[in-house]
């Protein structure tokens, strides 16, 4: 059997081929990372706001995932600026946008205070006799509800430390 002795040109050719393959693999990995990043959006929020994303036993989160087709994850994260993170992922930009919209709206609901418009003619039913309904909501929820009766519509202002 003949012995193969590579020449310097063979070695240079092999090194160049390996470098090209490595550069191509690096380029593909960078493109994949860029595609993956463009299909993921994250939101920082307070841990107490996660209830508006997750809901009771995860029902709200599963409903948002079913409605949009996107994957939504909500976690407390001690390294996140506000203490929690919500991540939305999808390969389809339209689904990603729909899920992002639902998450933003849910996190907006977690902000305090909330101003709820109420028509002047319905204000009596909201307040209750001698303010009993508002007092009951305050006691049961721990939130502070107040009524701004100036103008029409009037506003019920709900303030809370915890959504």
pLDDT given at position 33: 67
What residues of the chain score a pLDDT lower than 50? Answer: none
Q: Is the dihedral of CA 156, 86, 101, 72 positive or negative?
A: negative
Phi, psi of 89 (to 5 degrees): -135, 140
In this predicted structure, what is the pLDDT of residue 110?
A: 77
83-123 confidence digits (pLDDT tens): 899 999 998 889 999 999 999 988 887 776 778 898 888 88
Maximal CA-CA distance, the chain = 107
pTM, to two decimals = 0.54
What's the pLDDT score for residue 38? 56
User: Which residues partner with 144 through β-bridges?
Assistant: 159
Q: Are strands 114-118 and 71-76 parallel, antiparallel or unpaired?
A: unpaired
| CA 78, chain centre distance (Å) | 17
For residue 109, the 8-state DSSP code is H
Q: 110-132 as b/e, with b when 16 or more CB fall inside 10 Å?
A: bebebeeebeeeebeebbeeeee
């Amino acid at each position: 059997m003949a012995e193969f002795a590579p020449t310097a040109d063979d070695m240079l050719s092999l090194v160049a081929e390996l470098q090209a393959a490595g550069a191509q693999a690096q380029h593909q990995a960078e493109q994949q990372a860029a595609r993956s990043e463009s299909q993921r959006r994250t939101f920082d929020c307070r841990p107490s706001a996660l209830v508006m994303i997750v809901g009771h036993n995860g029902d709200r989160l599963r409903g948002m995932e079913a409605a949009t087709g996107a994957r939504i994850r909500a976690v407390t994260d001690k390294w996140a600026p506000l203490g929690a993170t919500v991540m939305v992922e999808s390969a389809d930009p339209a689904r990603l946008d729909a899920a992002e919209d639902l998450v933003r709206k849910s996190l907006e609901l977690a902000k305090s205070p909330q101003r709820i418009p109420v028509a002047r003619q319905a204000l009596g039913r909201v307040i209750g006799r001698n303010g009993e309904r508002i007092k009951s909501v305050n006691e049961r929820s721990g939130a502070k509800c107040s009524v701004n009766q100036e103008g029409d519509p009037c506003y019920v202002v709900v303030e809370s430390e915890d959504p």
